[in-house]
Amino acid sequence: MNLILRENKSFKIYFILTFVLVLISILAPYIVPHDPLKIDMRNTLMKPNSIYWLGTDQLGRDLFSRILYGALNSLKMTFILVTTVFIVGTAAGTIAGYFGGIADIVVMRFCDIFLAFPGIIFAIAIAGVLGPSSTNAIIALFVVNWAKYARVSRGLAISIRNKDYIKAAQIGGAKQYQIILKYVLPNIIPSLIVMATLDIGTMLLEISSLSFLGLGAQPPTPEWGYMINEGRAYIQTAPWLIIYPGIAMFITVTVFNLLGESIRDILDQHKNY
């Protein structure tokens, strides 16, 4: 595995790019040139210049600073969502697949219910009922996305539970939770990590979509989706309000997708060794 990692140049490149993006978002409060929340009506809708590198918005706020803060808010919300969905979905699916019976029936029926609706439409409906906020947007998208992780982990658990080493552990007196933690999860987690990495970009777009519709982050919080929504009214007079947040979102989603694909390639190579 270490040999594959050393030889995989694309993984190194995408990992470095991902690390840089995350580092920039973490350091955003310390490296922004201007206060992203400071309103200055004397400098509204200024074009990019030497002082305001990406221009200003309709309230005179520095767009570059708001984009950096937007990276912090967008990625924080995305990582919270992906982590929560990953843990809950994997736990539910593993229990259902390993034990079967009533546990499997209950979990899968819930999965059928949540997967029966178009994802983003269902999320909009939930967020609309709960009310507009970042927390409610995460809850809405969690409800929509956990079921697919449960289905995948269930299928993997079913394929593993009848393996010889599982039966040997059972005969040897190992407890069920020990078997799950020592044998089942280590064989399930790699595939789900790839799935989660590829989902980071998708879920970032979903969070931004809810914010764009006014159901996610609320003003004055800098968030890419909401920033694009604010810039719609000025698309002809100040197109940079949409272009630059859109570019930031495009780069971030692309980098995480490429990282996920490179991890998938590494795991496929590892299986062939």
Q: Collapse the DSSP code of 132 into the 3-class scheme (helix H, G, I; strand E, B; otherwise coil) and give the result.
A: coil
Whole-number pLDDT of residue 26: 93
* Half-sphere exposure of residue 205: CA atoms within 13 angstroms, side-chain side: 15
Classify residue 118 by burial, with Cβ atoms within 10 Å: 0-12, 13-18, 19+.
exposed
Whole-number pLDDT of residue 224: 93
Whether the bond into 220 is cis, omega within 30 of 0: yes
C-alpha span between 259 and 38 (Å, rounded):
36
Residue-wise pLDDT tens for the chain (273 aa)? Answer: 454 455 678 888 899 999 999 999 999 999 999 999 999 899 999 999 999 999 999 999 999 999 999 999 999 999 999 999 999 999 999 999 989 889 899 999 999 888 888 888 889 999 999 999 999 999 999 999 999 999 999 999 998 888 888 888 888 888 888 888 888 888 899 889 889 988 999 999 999 999 999 999 888 889 999 999 999 989 999 999 999 999 999 999 999 999 988 888 877 765 555
Q: How far is CA 44 from the centre of its chain?
A: 33
Whole-number pLDDT of residue 45: 93
* Half-sphere exposure of residue 227: CA atoms within 13 angstroms, side-chain side: 33
Residue 131 is which amino acid? G
C-alpha span between 42 and 189 (Å, rounded):
54
C-alpha span between 169 and 22 (Å, rounded):
41
Whole-number pLDDT of residue 251: 95
Whole-number pLDDT of residue 203: 93
Whole-number pLDDT of residue 3: 44
Write out 39-67 in H/E/C secondary structure: CCHHHCCCCCCCCCCCCECCCCCEHHHHH
Which H or E element spans position 154? helix 134-161
End-to-end Cα separation, the chain, in angstroms? 9
Residue count of the chain: 273
Whole-number pLDDT of residue 269: 67
Residue 260 is which amino acid? G
> Closest Cα to residue 145, out of 220, 80, 53, 61?
80
Domains and their CATH numbers in the chain: 2-27+61-272 (1.10.3720.10)
pTM (two decimals): 0.90
Q: How far is CA 205 from the centre of its chain?
A: 8
Structure tokens belonging to residue 223: 């968030």
C-alpha span between 256 and 269 (Å, rounded):
20
